[in-house]
């Protein structure tokens, strides 16, 4: 297979159309057999449920080339599981989990020429999603749905090393108690746009959202979970029913415990104790871990001892170990690496 002529190391995080995508339609209570198509466009009725009432959810994962030249994905079964839970919360039919994994496999295989080579730092981003497609004007779930998977090559998240970012405590809320914060629904992102544009205008990289009921506990940012390290090297992540269960965060906790022998805690984290942590990072598929150097809470600044120049030592070890597992230099736990070809 010959790779496309792409300047891999200068790719950003933007959509680039690739050759094939997967489509399956749900109608009369059943999903069809699904197919790969070259057509990147979707034609919808003006009154489609997704356009009127935002009945849509998505997933995000990556394919990459390992050191020994295989194309692999990382724990796609967990994305399938999470999409099933998102679909249920949004009254959408579940796309069967085994078929989800198979669809991801097929699309990556069909676009293998777009999977960046080992060592470029770039990856093939995979976006599965589904939406209510028939016309709905009275508020109710759609009867017809489309499940799709497309891919797009994306550049290394950190160009020239991972520089710690500055975030602010946000006055807007991300998720209500008993709301949809724990599922990957498009609506959670629509309503975060105002807050993120505002944060960027004020010079912050991200928003830190607190629990909306008491505004005393750390939740997450718009698209990544928090990970903290205490001064005695315990890895702590916030626990809350309104946080999106990040696959990266869950994998990092496993790595901390089983590969690095660190203590881990998943518990409520109060804003008041954040100043006592030694390191802070944001975890998600895009960056694996993005180090946080400073948190601005209105008139108060929290500067982590790890500073603004580089990742803290524990976060660096977590990052190196998980990316090592993904790239095939470190042996992966059973079932984590799904080989495409």
Ligand X SMILES: *Cc1c(COP(=O)(O)O)cnc(C)c1O
Nearer to ligand X by Cβ, of 187 and 260: the residue is 187
Residue pair 325/290 in contact by the 8 Å Cβ criterion:
no
Residue 134 to residue 139: CA distance in whole angstroms? 13
Residue 239 to residue 262: CA distance in whole angstroms? 18
Nearer to ligand X by Cβ, of 238 and 293: the residue is 238
Residue 171 to residue 151: CA distance in whole angstroms? 35
Positions 226 through 265 that interact with ligand X (CB under 6 A): 244, 246-249
Q: Which residue among 20, 62, 106, 184 is the active-site one? A: 184
Find the shortest distance in angstroms from Cβ 46 to ligand X. 28
Catalytic status, residue 184? yes
Beta strands in the chain (DSSP E): 21-27, 30-31, 35-37, 56-58, 61-65, 71-74, 123-132, 145-154, 165-169, 206-208, 225-229, 235-238, 264-267, 279-284, 288-297, 300-303, 337-339
Find the shortest distance in angstroms from Cβ 309 to ligand X. 25
User: Of 284, 293, 312, 328, which one interacts with ligand X (CB under 6 A)?
Assistant: 284
Q: Which stretch binds ligand X (CB under 6 A): 22-30, 268-276, 282-290, 307-315?
A: 282-290
CA atoms 325, 14, 127, 101: torsion sign: negative
String marking each residue 11-50 x if it binds ligand X according to CB under 6 A: ----------------------------------------
Nearer to ligand X by Cβ, of 50 and 224: the residue is 224
Positions 207 through 226 that interact with ligand X (CB under 6 A): 220, 223-225
Q: How crowded is residue 270: how many other Cβ atoms within 10 Å of its Cβ?
A: 14
Find the shortest distance in angstroms from Cβ 123 to ligand X. 12
Nearer to ligand X by Cβ, of 211 and 220: the residue is 220
DSSP, collapsed to helix, strand or coil, labels residue 68 as coil
Residue 318 to residue 15: CA distance in whole angstroms? 29
Find the shortest distance in angstroms from Cβ 48 to ligand X. 23
How many Cα atoms within 13 Å fall on the side-chain side of residue 188?
24
Q: How crowded is residue 23: how many other Cβ atoms within 10 Å of its Cβ?
A: 17
Residue 222 to residue 230: CA distance in whole angstroms? 24
Nearer to ligand X by Cβ, of 73 and 225: the residue is 225
Positions 165 through 194 that interact with ligand X (CB under 6 A): 184
Residue 223 to residue 188: CA distance in whole angstroms? 10
Total residues interacting with ligand X, rule: CB under 6 A: 14
Nearer to ligand X by Cβ, of 170 and 247: the residue is 247
Q: Is 55 in the site for ligand X (CB under 6 A)?
A: no
Find the shortest distance in angstroms from Cβ 28 to ligand X. 32
Give the active site residues: 184
Q: Which parts of this chain interact with ligand X (CB under 6 A)?
A: 60, 184, 220, 223-225, 244, 246-249, 283-285
């Amino acid at each position: 297979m010959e790779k496309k002529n792409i300047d891999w190391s200068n790719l950003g995080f933007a959509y680039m159309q690739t050759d094939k995508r997967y489509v399956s339609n749900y109608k009369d209570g059943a999903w069809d057999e699904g197919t790969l198509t070259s057509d990147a466009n979707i034609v919808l009725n003006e009154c489609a449920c997704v356009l009127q009432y935002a009945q849509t959810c998505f997933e995000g994962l990556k394919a990459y080339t390992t050191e020994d030249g295989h194309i692999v994905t990382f724990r796609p079964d967990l994305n399938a599981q999470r999409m099933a839970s998102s679909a249920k919360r949004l009254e959408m039919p579940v796309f069967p989990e085994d078929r989800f994994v198979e669809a991801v496999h097929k699309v990556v295989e069909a676009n293998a020429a777009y999977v960046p080579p080992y060592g470029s730092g770039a990856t093939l981003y995979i976006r599965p999603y589904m939406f209510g497609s028939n016309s709905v004007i009275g508020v109710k779930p759609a009867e017809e749905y489309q499940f799709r998977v497309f891919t797009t090559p994306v550049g290394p998240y950190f160009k020239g090393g991972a520089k710690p970012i500055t975030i602010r405590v946000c006055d807007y809320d991300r998720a209500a108690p008993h709301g949809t914060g724990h599922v990957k629904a498009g609506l959670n992102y629509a309503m975060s746009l105002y807050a993120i544009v505002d944060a960027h205008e004020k010079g912050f990289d991200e928003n830190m959202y607190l629990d909306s009921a008491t505004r005393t506990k750390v939740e997450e940012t718009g698209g990544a979970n928090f990970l903290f390290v205490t001064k005695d090297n315990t890895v702590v992540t916030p626990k809350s029913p309104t946080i999106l269960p990040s696959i990266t965060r869950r994998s990092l906790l496993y790595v901390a415990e089983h590969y690095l022998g660190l203590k881990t805690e998943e518990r409520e984290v109060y804003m008041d104790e954040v100043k006592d942590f030694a390191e802070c990072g944001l975890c998600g598929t895009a960056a694996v871990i993005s180090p946080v150097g400073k948190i601005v809470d209105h008139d108060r600044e929290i500067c982590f001892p790890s500073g603004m120049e580089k990742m803290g030592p524990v976060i660096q070890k977590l990052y190196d170990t998980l990316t090592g597992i993904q790239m095939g230099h470190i042996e992966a736990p059973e079932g984590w690496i799904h080989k495409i070809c």
